[in-house]
Amino acid sequence: MKIAIDSCSVILLAKATVLEAVASNYDLLISDNVYKEILQGKDKKFIDALVTEKLVKDGKLKISKVKEAKIIKKLIRDFSLGIGEAETLAFVLGSQCEAISTDNKQGRKVAKIYNLNLIGSIDLIISLFKLKIIDNYKAISALKMLKEFGWFQDYLIDSALEEVKNV
């Protein structure tokens, strides 16, 4: 499955130390602007910027241009999205990807309005666990990191933690 992923999800998954596993098991696509946004942290040696750059160099995270520029402008205008979120949504709306991964509140709202296949960081961690790509210790650790670095409501993380612990 080809997944368009925005900077918010890339950064959170990198901080949770599972971005490499996600990129190795899913076909991830980011826009130029998302990549530039993430790399702003490279000078400060942010883990998300360094891991993302490595994954791009290794060909596990692909950068592409959005084919439907009109969609981007409409999304920015109608929903007050940033360029990265708009481009990520446009990948799916323009049929370049089958799903979108975003943890951005406004991006998730737009994905729901357009009835897109929406996958969050929590979902990706749980899927890695269910596919036995990561063990329960790694899944629990990653979810706790999302709780620390993300803006998730506690019940979402707690529910995911219960799912992992009960397997």
Do 116 and 126 fall into the same domain?
Answer: no
Structure confidence at residue 71 (pLDDT): 94
The tens digit of pLDDT for each residue in 100-158 reads: 999 999 999 999 999 999 999 999 999 999 999 999 999 999 999 999 999 899 999 99
Residue 68 has pLDDT above 90, yes or no: no
Structure confidence at residue 69 (pLDDT): 86
Range of the domain at 10: 2-120
Tell me the average pLDDT across 56-75: 94
Residue 5's SS3 state is strand
- Split into its structural domains, the chain has a count of 2
Q: What is the pTM of this model?
A: 0.95
Q: Which helix (H) or strand (E) holds 100?
A: strand 99-101
Structure confidence at residue 114 (pLDDT): 97
Tell me the average pLDDT across 37-52: 94
Do 116 and 134 fall into the same domain?
Answer: no
Compute CA 19 distance to the chain's CA centroid, rounded to the nearest angstrom.
9
Structure confidence at residue 127 (pLDDT): 96
